[in-house]
Amino acid sequence: MYQHILVPVDDSVLAVSLATQAVAFARTLGARITFFHARGDYAATSDGALLHALAPEEFAEHAPGPAQAVLARAEAEARLAGVASDSVIRTSDRPYEAIVDAALERGCDLIFMASHGRKGWRGLLIGSQTAKVLGHSTVPVLVSTVEANAPSREMEAAVAVIKGEHRSMAAVVHALKQAFGQARGLGKPADAEWLRGAVQYFRRFTLGMHHPKEDAYLFACLKARSTSMDALLETLQTQHAEEVAFIDALDAAVEAYVATPQEESLGGLEQALDRYAERLWEHMRLEEKFVLPACQAHLDQDDWHRIAQAFEANGDPRFDLDKSAGFERLFLRLVSTGT
C-alpha cells in the first residue's frame, strides 16, 4: 500500500479540508506525507521587481508569500494526528509540472489532490492544475472532492477557518519548541523580540480575536439551537477566561529567560510552554471532536453565514480586518524564522 504521499496545498479555504482528509488517509495507511506548495515568481511581477530594486529587505519578507504559513498549518495538522510529514516549496508558474517533478524527486508513490480550487498564482494548486497532473503524472493520483462533500459553502468556510486558526496556534507552539531546542543545541540565546512576538500572538490573536469570536458566534448559535452541548460550552468558555493566566505565565517565563538566558530559565520557559500547550491541545480537541460536529448537526444556513463572515473578519465591526492581516503577517514571521 502507499507509503509516501505528496499533498499539494494552497492558501484557499479548501486547503484546510484537504489537509485534514489527507492526514486521516495517511494515518489509516501508516504513510508519511510531503506537503507541497508552488508559489509564483514574485520578482517577475512589476510590483516585485520594483520592490526588489527599492527595498531588498522588504522584498525578502514579501517574496515567500503565503507559502510558509500554508505549509506550517498543514504540518501542524499532521503533527497533531501523529503522522510523519515534511514540506517543500517550489517557485513555478506551471504548478502541475512542479507537482509531478516533486513527486518523483521525493519518491512519493501517491499524489493526493482536490478536484476544485482557486485560479491564479495566489491559488496555484488545489484543483486548477488537477487535470494536468492527472494527464502527466506517472505516479498514481487520488482526487478528493472536498468541495462537493460540503453541505454548504458557509459551513465549509467557517469550519475550515476555525480549524486553520487552531493549526496556526499549534504551529507557533511548535516553532517555539524548535527555537528552544536550537538555543540549547547551539548555545546561543533565542531572539528576545521573536519570543515576545510569539507571546503577543497568543495574547492578541488567540485571546483577543479567536476566543471572542467563538463565544459570540459559534457557541452562541449552538446554544440557541440545542441544549445538548451547554455543559461543555460552559467548560470551554471558562477555559477561555483561564487561558489568560497560562499566557501571563509564559510571558513571565520569556522575560526571565531574556534577562538571564541560562539553562535554568530556558527550562522554566519550556515548562510554561508545555503547560499552555497541554491546555490548548485539550481545548482544541474538545471543540473539534464535539462542538463542531454538534454545530454541523444543528445550525442552519443563516447561522453558518454569520459565523463564516465573522471568522473571515468581514461581518463584525468589533473585529478589524486590518488587524487580522497583521496577525497573519506576524504568524508568517514566527513560523518562518522560528523553524
pTM: 0.78
Instruction: For 295-337, write each residue's pLDDT tens digit.
Output: 999 999 999 999 998 887 634 444 454 555 566 777 777 777 6
Q: All 3 cell numbers of residue 141?
A: 493520483
For residue 282, count other CB atoms closer than 10 A to its CB: 11
Q: What is the C-alpha to C-alpha distance for residues 24 and 288, in angstroms, rounded to an integer?
A: 14
Q: What is the pLDDT of residue 151?
A: 55
> 155 in the Ramachandran plot: left (φ > 0), alpha (ψ -120 to 50) or beta?
alpha
Q: Angle of helix 301-311 relative to helix 153-186, nearest 10 degrees? A: 30
21 confidence band (pLDDT: 50, 70, 90) = very high
32 strand-pairing partners: 4
Fold of 153-337: Four Helix Bundle (Hemerythrin (Met), subunit A) (1.20.120)
pLDDT of residue 119: 45
Please, which pLDDT band fits residue 83 given cuts at 50, 70 and 90? Answer: very high
- Same fold flag, 4-144 and 153-337: no
Percent of the chain with pLDDT over 70: 80
* The C-alpha cell that represents 148 in the structure block: 462537493
Cα 315 to Cα 130, 166, 207, 218, 319, distances in angstroms:
33, 21, 19, 14, 8
Residues 6+ apart with CB under 8 A from 179: 190, 191, 194, 195, 338
The whole-angstrom separation of Cα 111 and Cα 258 is 45
Distance between CA atoms of residues 128 and 85, nearest Å: 24
> 4-144 sits in which CATH class?
alpha beta
pLDDT at 50: 45
- Distance separating alpha carbons of residues 133 and 303, to the nearest angstrom: 38
Residues 149, 160: contact at Cβ < 8 Å? Answer: no
Q: What is the pLDDT of residues 95-146, one digit of tens each?
A: 899 999 999 999 999 999 987 654 443 344 445 678 889 989 999 999 987 6
Residue 38's region, left for phi above 0, alpha for psi from -120 to 50, else beta, is: beta
Of 68 and 250, more confident: 250
Tell me the domain boundaries of the chain.
Answer: 4-144, 153-337
The radius of gyration of the chain's CA atoms, rounded to the nearest angstrom, is 21
Residue 304 CA to residue 217 CA, distance in Å, equals 9
Q: Are 288 and 232 in contact (CB under 8 A)?
A: no
For residue 193, the cross-strand partners are none
